[in-house]
Amino acid sequence: MKIASVAEVKAQFSAYLKESEQGLVIVTRNGRPVAALLAVRNDEELERLVLAHSPRLQSILKTSRQQIREGEGISHEDFWHEMDEEEPGKDKKRPKGKKKTV
């Protein structure tokens, strides 16, 4: 991990982008972290990063976890059964498990 000021990053942006391919670059202002540069290697990695920081998705997950704790979820098998009914002709092989899914 490398730490650099906003001024340093601004002056040598391309170099810090390249540096981010080796590891996280923390950008500071007045000695305090304000941003991070993180290389993205492919579309899947970018999608995971965006979703991990999505307030909407985090809200949905929080609500889902609460519903599961309160016993309002459905079983893993029931979830996939419902999905298969909605999409006829789809591959019927689904993971087995007893997890609750909302």
Give the pairing of strands 100-101 and 2-5: unpaired
Alpha-helical segments (H) within the chain: 6-11, 13-20, 43-52, 55-69, 76-86
Domains of the chain: 2-37 (3.40.1620.10), 72-102 (no CATH)
Q: pLDDT tens, 37-94?
A: 999 999 999 999 999 999 998 998 898 889 888 988 787 788 888 888 876 665 555 5
Question: Exposed/middle/buried for 62, CB within 10 Å: 0-12, 13-18, 19+?
Answer: exposed
pTM: 0.58
